Amino acid sequence: MAEEDILVDIPDENLPELAEMYKKHQDWAPHVYSTIMTGLEWRKKKNEKYMIFMSPNGCWKEDGIFFLLLAYNAFDIFYFTLGDGENICEAFRRSKILQPKGCNTSRESLYCIHQKLYTPVREVIIKEMGKTLMAEHPSHMFSISSDEALKFQIQCPEEVYIKHLDTTHADFVNSLWLGRYENAEKLLSLLIEMNGGYGLFLKSNDQLVSWVLLSMMGQLTILQTLDGYKRKGYASVLVKYISVELAKKGYNAFGAVFAENVASVAMFEKLGFKYLGIAVYLFYK
């Protein structure tokens, strides 16, 4: 008889209870609540488990510990806990789920991991599991409360208009995304299909010149403006607009910015977003 994996699926009917555990912690970990709620939204839209929620030995009720796996043209792992994280390293050591064989993707990643839960796991992945480090990006986390976001006054420059993105924009967005990898456009298409996203389009010719998507966390990702259209405040318009939309759902808007992206850090600060510390994206194979 095969040994049961240390990671056990969290039944869909238990996800609302898990979300409630994190709802009151949106002031310092807003992305965790929205991640769980986004997973529930995806379940309602499609009867496919693109996002898999698991917990070591099913102990999520004790300290909220859970793992999220997105294995769709990627192998992105997010995890969090309200406890000390002792079970996280053990899950990486013992779970076959987190050590895929023949994974159909060009990279694996730890996705937006809070610094306090990161370093021990990094050691396990690189030194004990023997994975090859591809890239490591410390990122500044910013958030704004739903109450504050709803105060935003959104004035769209007269030469552009805001419109929902659709899946036909995935290839174009991916072609200019610095983080792209093999077949990444398929993941971006899924994110747009399931979560939406917004773009600024020129009124003169309907050219998409600035855009923002929503990640598997239901939060800001891939915020970008075409060269030649920067320094016009387009990104700020989109951030304010999408923050209001998230606030209407009861989410505190959240974004993680690579530490070297000075312009985006300054933009979030100017808009009144609160600094929440460091998260890390680790890409390995």
Q: 134 with 11, same domain?
A: yes
Q: What is the pLDDT of residues 34-93, one digit of tens each?
A: 999 999 999 999 888 899 999 999 999 999 999 999 988 889 999 999 999 989 999 999
Domain stops at, among 119, 138, 157: 138
Q: Based on the fold, state whether residues 162 and 58 are members of the same structural domain.
A: no
Question: Is the pTM of the predicted complex or chain greater than 0.75?
Answer: yes
Give residue for tokens 């077949």: 183
Q: What burial letters (b/e) apply to 210-245, b meaning 16+ CB within 10 Å?
A: bbbbbbbbbbbbbbbbbeebeebebbbbbbbbbbbe
Task: Provide the domain limits for residue 254.
Answer: 146-276
Six-digit token pair at 192? Answer: 């747009």
State pLDDT tens for residues 171-228: 999 999 998 988 899 999 999 999 999 999 999 999 999 999 999 999 999 999 999 9
Nearest-CA neighbor of 88 among 68, 46, 117? 117
Indicate the residue among 97, 114, 138 that finishes a domain.
Answer: 138
Domain CATH number, residue 22: 3.40.630.30
Nearest to 67 by CA among 111, 25, 20: 111
Task: Tell whether 47 is covered by a domain.
Answer: yes
When divided into structural domains, the chain yields a total of: 2
Q: Is residue 263 scored above 80 in pLDDT?
A: yes
Give the integer Cα–Cα distance in Å for 154 and 134. 39
- Residue 65: count other Cβ atoms within 10 Å of its Cβ: 25
